[in-house]
């Protein structure tokens, strides 16, 4: 890639809408937290951890991801994790993140819901204060668990809603997709909807287009996480273009989890050129080999994205966010000025 396009991406203001905070746990921090909390890891070194990140599909990743999250125990651990991500995001010129967190991964190990919220929120509030960095939290249900478990998780989190009203505004659905269709969570999403939360769900990552249909029609989601398998359904594609329903696409994740064999075969550029509202995101950057700018750069390289297309992707990231119209306008203006200055 020429240096200019690389630099253009580096400085491009952008939002990240698909980021699992537990997936930003770098092996170095994993080791440091394990030591701090007296936990024995099944790895001898950071290099050994990285060497284990050779996945064949989503489940092979999730097994390691949930095991790694066991080092997160205290409020300070969740703060350190979140602050480390924010530093990387700031370096990549991310202005706004809507981060996912999986409370069930932690409450099932005896960690209090309040501990998870407090650590993540302290880092986001500090970053707002010190860097005008904007952040929101999307609580995700683990779809391999039951809907009753999800309902109990929502009930356990709701008493914290007021305390975190500035941050927690969304509900999502993640973990093992195939065999756990969106409709399994119809009741808990209806409840979250009635409470006024924004709704998103992973759909069409490994699962069929039918899962995207049910996430849209039954769960009433406002954004599709991944959604790359939408391309197999022409009518669905037409609807996604017409409605400008956003897709949070994660190219390096798709590559690492063998959703695509080669980034050059990724449908991100085809979908963008067909007029879908697609965005680029990092998913679990510590596990998939790169933060958001690495995803932009690898995609630009593999798919020959030009400056206009990269600008559209950044624009989509702001438009597809759940931020206020005022904030969106500020970021879009900043983006326009940035692009103007490159002419
Ligand atoms: N949890 C973390 N990353 C995920 C992904 N890519 N798909 C589903 N669940 C996840
Ligand atoms: Zn994800």
Which residues span the domain enclosing 121?
A: 3-342
pLDDT of residue 2: 76
pLDDT of residue 1: 72
Distances (CA, A) of 337 to 171, 205, 244: 33, 35, 25
For ligand 1, atom 4, name the residue with the nearest CA: 175
DSSP string, 19-78: EEGGGG--HHHHHHHHHHTT---S-SSHHHHHHT---SSHHHHHHHHHHHGGG--SHHHH
pLDDT of residue 343: 78
Contacts of residue 58, defined as CB under 8 A and 6 or more positions apart, other chains included, come to: 176, 177, 205, 206, 257
Residue 218 DSSP class? T
Answer for the pair 225, 18: CB distance below 8 angstroms, yes or no: yes
Q: Is 174 in the pocket of ligand 1 (CB under 6 A)?
A: yes
Answer for the pair 141, 171: CB distance below 8 angstroms, yes or no: yes
The total domain count for the chain is: 1
Identify the CATH number of the domain in which residue 315 sits: 3.20.20.140
**What is the chain's pLDDT, residue by residue, as a tens digit (343 residues)?**
777 899 999 999 999 999 999 999 999 999 999 999 999 999 999 999 999 999 999 999 999 999 999 999 999 999 999 999 999 999 999 999 999 999 999 999 999 999 999 999 999 999 999 999 999 999 999 999 999 999 999 999 999 999 999 999 999 999 999 999 999 999 999 999 999 999 999 999 999 999 999 999 999 999 999 999 999 999 999 999 999 999 999 999 999 999 999 999 999 999 999 999 999 999 999 999 999 999 999 999 999 999 999 999 999 999 999 999 999 999 999 999 999 999 7
pTM of the model: 0.98
Looking at the DSSP bridge assignments, the partners of residue 247 are 224, 278
Supply angle C-alpha 257, 260, 262, rounded to 5.
Answer: 110
Q: Is 253 in the pocket of ligand 1 (CB under 6 A)?
A: yes
Q: Which of 53, 174, 206, 250 to mutate to test the pocket of ligand 1 (most atoms within 8 A of CB)?
A: 174
Determine whether 222 is an active site residue. Answer: no
Supply angle C-alpha 47, 285, 330, rounded to 5.
Answer: 150
Contacts of residue 94, defined as CB under 8 A and 6 or more positions apart, other chains included, come to: 14, 15, 16, 133, 292
């Amino acid at each position: 890639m020429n240096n200019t396009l690389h630099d253009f991406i580096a400085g491009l203001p952008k939002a990240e809408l698909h980021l699992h905070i537990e997936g930003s746990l770098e092996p170095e921090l994993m080791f440091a937290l394990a030591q701090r909390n007296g936990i024995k890891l099944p790895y001898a070194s950071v290099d050994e951890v990285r060497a284990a990140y050779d996945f064949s599909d989503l489940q092979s990743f999730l097994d390691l991801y949930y095991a790694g999250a066991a080092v997160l125990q205290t409020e300070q651990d969740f703060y350190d994790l979140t602050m480390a991500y924010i530093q990387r995001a700031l370096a990549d010129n991310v202005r706004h993140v809507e981060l996912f967190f999986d409370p069930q991964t932690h409450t099932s190990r005896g960690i209090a819901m309040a501990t998870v919220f407090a650590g993540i929120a302290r880092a986001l509030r500090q970053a707002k204060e010190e860097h005008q960095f904007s952040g929101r939290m999307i609580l995700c249900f683990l779809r391999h668990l039951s809907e009753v478990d999800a309902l109990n998780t929502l009930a356990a989190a709701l008493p914290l809603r007021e305390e975190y009203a500035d941050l927690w505004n969304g509900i999502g659905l993640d973990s093992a997709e195939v065999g756990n269709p969106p409709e399994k969570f119809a009741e808990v999403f209806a409840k979250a909807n009635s409470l006024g939360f924004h709704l998103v769900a992973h759909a069409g990552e490994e699962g069929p287009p039918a899962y995207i249909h049910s996430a849209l029609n039954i769960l009433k989601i406002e954004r599709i996480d991944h959604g790359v398998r939408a391309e197999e359904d022409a009518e669905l594609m037409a609807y996604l273009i017409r409605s400008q329903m956003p897709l949070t696409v994660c190219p390096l994740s798709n590559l690492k989890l063998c959703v695509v064999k080669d980034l050059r075969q990724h449908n991100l550029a085809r979908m963008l050129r067909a007029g879908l509202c697609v965005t680029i995101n990092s998913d679990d950057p510590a596990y998939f080999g790169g933060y958001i700018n690495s995803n932009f750069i690898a995609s630009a390289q593999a798919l020959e994205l030009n400056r206009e297309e990269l600008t559209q992707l950044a624009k989509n990231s702001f438009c597809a966010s759940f931020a206020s119209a005022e904030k969106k306008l500020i970021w879009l203006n900043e983006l326009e000025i940035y692009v103007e200055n490159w002419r």
